């Protein structure tokens, strides 16, 4: 078995990690900025908060790494993961609300579809976990598996609605979700067989797909267009 260090010099690996971090931070900052400049932040505030959180977390963890003990660092990372899961849940709810509101004439369907997708995501997660080896040294994150399935299902639902903004947001998450599901299996089996090279490749692939999702959002999330009636009406006092 070959280790990653045997294939990539430590200095080169550090340089690669730094480049990925800088590029990721720059793209996240750009996306966070355009959500405000394009007038989208008020339409999708939870999604905006999630992108801002990812940017802040990335900078914080990068700057303090090596300056605090490993136990404290891991505890902070775990606490931030909880915030991450809460925000992901908030984004899923936000997407579901926008999709439901885009179908005003389908009252029954609006109420049942989110519940059906939630139940299906839970079932898919349970099925996926039964396919993973229970003795893996680094088990797959079940919460991330669940949100990956849920975002993919929300994207499928979005194809039946006229909600362009929400559909594009869901598309980015669905793209990441598909790769995350694949990478979860890949990394689990790589860890089980102590294949550090394969584990690293899956990790870098996942990071790369996240950057692709950000680029997709930067291109597809267009500024809001006011209708002629809204442009000629007096501003609201609310």
Distance CA 122, CA 143 (A): 10
Q: Is residue 230 part of a domain?
A: no
Q: Is residue 65 part of a domain?
A: yes
Whether residue 56 has pLDDT greater than 80: yes
Mean pLDDT, range 121-138, rounded to an integer: 91
pLDDT tens digits for range 76-95: 999 999 999 999 999 999 99
Contacts of 74 (CB under 8 A, 6+ apart): none
Position 105 scores a pLDDT of 73
Position 227 scores a pLDDT of 45
Position 145 scores a pLDDT of 96
| H or E, element range at 150 | helix 142-158
Are the C-beta atoms of residues 183 and 202 closer than 8 Å to each other?
yes
Identify the domain containing residue 92 by its residue range. 12-223
Position 165 scores a pLDDT of 94
Position 106 scores a pLDDT of 65
Compute and round to an integer the Cα radius of gyration of the chain.
20
Q: Is residue 6 part of a domain?
A: no
pLDDT band of residue 226 (cuts 50, 70, 90) is: low
Distance CA 164, CA 34 (A): 17
Looking at per-residue pLDDT, the higher value among 5 and 144 belongs to 144
For 97, other C-beta atoms within 10 Å of its C-beta total 14
Helices (H) and strands (E) in the chain, counts: 9, 0
Mean pLDDT, range 177-205, rounded to an integer: 92
pLDDT tens digits for range 136-189: 888 889 999 999 999 999 999 999 888 899 999 999 999 999 999 999 999 999
HSE (side-chain half, CA atoms, 13 Å) at 182: 13
pLDDT tens digits for range 6-46: 445 667 778 888 888 999 999 999 999 999 999 999 999 99
Mean pLDDT, range 103-124, rounded to an integer: 86
Nearest-CA neighbor of 190 among 179, 178, 200, 204?
200
Q: Is residue 79 part of a domain?
A: yes
- How many structural domains does the chain have? 1
Q: Is residue 199 part of a domain?
A: yes
Q: Is residue 231 part of a domain?
A: no
Position 8 scores a pLDDT of 57
Q: Is residue 236 part of a domain?
A: no
Q: Is residue 28 part of a domain?
A: yes
Distance CA 141, CA 4 (A): 23
């Amino acid at each position: 078995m070959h280790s990653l260090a045997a294939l990539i010099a430590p200095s080169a690996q550090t340089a690669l990690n730094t480049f990925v971090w800088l590029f990721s931070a720059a793209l996240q900052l750009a996306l966070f900025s355009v959500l405000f400049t394009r007038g989208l932040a008020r339409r999708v505030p939870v999604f905006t908060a999630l992108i801002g959180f990812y940017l802040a977390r990335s900078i914080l963890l990068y700057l303090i790494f090596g300056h605090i003990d490993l136990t404290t660092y891991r505890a902070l990372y775990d606490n931030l993961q909880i915030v991450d899961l809460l925000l992901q849940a908030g984004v899923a709810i936000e997407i579901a609300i926008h999709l439901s509101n885009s179908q005003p004439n389908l009252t029954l369907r609006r109420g049942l579809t989110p519940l059906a997708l939630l139940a299906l995501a839970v079932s898919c997660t349970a099925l996926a976990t039964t396919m993973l080896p229970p003795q893996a040294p680094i088990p797959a994150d079940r919460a991330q598996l669940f949100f990956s399935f849920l975002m993919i299902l929300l994207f499928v639902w979005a194809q039946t609605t006229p909600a362009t903004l929400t559909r594009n947001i869901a598309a980015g998450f669905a793209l990441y979700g598909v790769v995350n599901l694949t990478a979860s299996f890949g990394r689990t089996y790589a860890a089980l067989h102590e294949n550090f090279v394969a584990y690293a490749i899956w990790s870098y692939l996942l990071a790369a797909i996240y950057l692709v999702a950000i680029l997709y959002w930067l291109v597809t999330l267009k500024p809001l267009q006011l209708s002629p009636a809204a442009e000629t009406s007096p501003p609201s006092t609310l």
